[in-house]
């Protein structure tokens, strides 16, 4: 093996190493933004479920892949819950992922609040309802 072949082989290995490190970096960045979005979606979903439960609104969301950004009642029920559509933008992957996570946490929280209200709600001596 002469010097130019060894040099070419070393450059090829170096390029492959840089490509692998870059790939691992981008996979890690993708994982990090998904974790951040999931945490924020959990906060938003649980907070909204608390507010709705406190206001007496029992509803569950389904994700609607439409351009509009409003919450609309679908006209059907799932047990005691009304089913509403939650819009997610179909062409924007991060926004769609965030909407799916918000809906997942909202629905889980709303079902938990409804199934076991004694764990979440307390009544004081004046008859006011508050959160534990």
The answer to whether 84 and 107 are in contact (CB under 8 A) is: no
Q: Quick one: DSSP state of residue 55?
A: T
Dump the DSSP string for 59-89: EEEEEE-SS----EEEEEEETTEEEEEEE--
CB 60 within 8 A of CB 84: yes
Residue range 69-79, pLDDT digits in tens: 556 666 677 77
Can you give the residue ranges of every domain in the chain? 35-119
| 74-128 per-position pLDDT tens digit | 667 777 888 888 877 767 778 888 888 999 999 999 998 888 877 776 666 665 5
**Cβ distance 51 to 109 under 8 Å?**
no
The radius of gyration computed from the CA coordinates of the chain, to the nearest angstrom, equals: 24
pLDDT digits (tens, 9 = 90+) for 26-82: 999 989 988 999 999 999 999 999 888 888 888 898 887 665 555 666 667 777 888
């Amino acid at each position: 093996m002469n010097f130019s072949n060894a040099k070419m082989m070393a450059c090829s290995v170096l390029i492959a190493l840089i490509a692998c490190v870059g790939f691992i970096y981008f996979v890690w960045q993708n994982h990090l933004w998904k974790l951040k979005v999931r945490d924020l979606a959990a906060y938003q979903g649980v907070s909204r479920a608390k507010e709705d439960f406190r206001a007496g609104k029992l509803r569950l969301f389904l994700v609607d892949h439409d351009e509009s950004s409003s919450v609309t009642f679908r006209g059907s029920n799932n047990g005691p819950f009304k089913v509403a559509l939650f819009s997610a933008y179909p062409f924007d992957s991060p926004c769609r992922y965030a909407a799916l996570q918000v809906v997942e946490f909202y629905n889980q929280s709303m079902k938990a609040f409804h199934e076991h209200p004694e764990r979440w709600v307390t009544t004081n001596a004046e008859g006011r309802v508050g959160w534990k």
